[in-house]
Structure 1
Amino acid sequence: MTQEMVIYLATESVWTLLKISMPLLLISLIVGLVISILQATTQIQEQTLSFVPKIISVFIGLVIFGPWMLQQIEGFTRLIFELMVEVASK
């Protein structure tokens, strides 16, 4: 395995991680921001008020984005196996 292959694999793994985690993180960020604005306007400072909607929205996001996330993971796994075959054949 050459140095270029290792760098390529590391780069692809980081990009795959970012692509997979970004939709759920953005959903959680937006819901948290909306809840924080509502808490600031109503002066309700209950901690569980922001936690429960975030969990529910992340679960809904998993249902919506789950198939796409699985395809991304499958593509990355195929890439790893292809690289393993390439390294083994050398």
Structure 2
Amino acid sequence: MTPDIAADIAIDALRLVMLIVMVLITPGLIVGVLVSLFQAATQINEQTMSFLPRLLVTLVAIGLSGYWVSDKLMQYTVNIFQRASQLVG
């Protein structure tokens, strides 16, 4: 196992994690900012108003991107198993 192979695997893993997190977190972040702006404009400080929309949008994002995320994880796993011979030898 050379350090180059290990570094490539680690970089691929970090890229995949960042991509998946961005896909799942970005919609909730956008909705959170919009709700915060609305709360600041109307001076309504209800805690559930800031939490519930973000939760629902995050659940919808998980539901809509679930197949894509599982496909990306499966491709990464297959790639790791294909590189297994290089890692051992």
* TM-score normalised to structure 1 length: 0.92
* Local SS of the residue matching 2:79: helix
**Which structure has more RCO (C-alpha within 8 Å, separation ≥ 6)?**
2
Unmatched 5+ stretches in structure 2: none
Counterpart for residue 62 of structure 1:
62
What is the CA-CA distance between 1:23 and the residue it aligns to? 1.3
Q: CA deviation at 1:19?
A: 1.0
* Contact 2:5/2:87, CA 8 A, preserved across alignment: no
CA RMSD in angstroms, aligned pairs only: 1.0
* TM-score, normalised with respect to structure 2: 0.93
Runs of at least 5 residues in structure 1 that lack an aligned partner in the other structure: none
**May I ask how many residue pairs the two structures share in their alignment?**
89
Contact 2:24 2:62 survives alignment (8 Å): yes
Confirm or deny that 1:11 pairs with 2:11.
Answer: yes
Deviations 1:14-58 (A, max 9, x none): 000011111111101101011001101110111221111111111
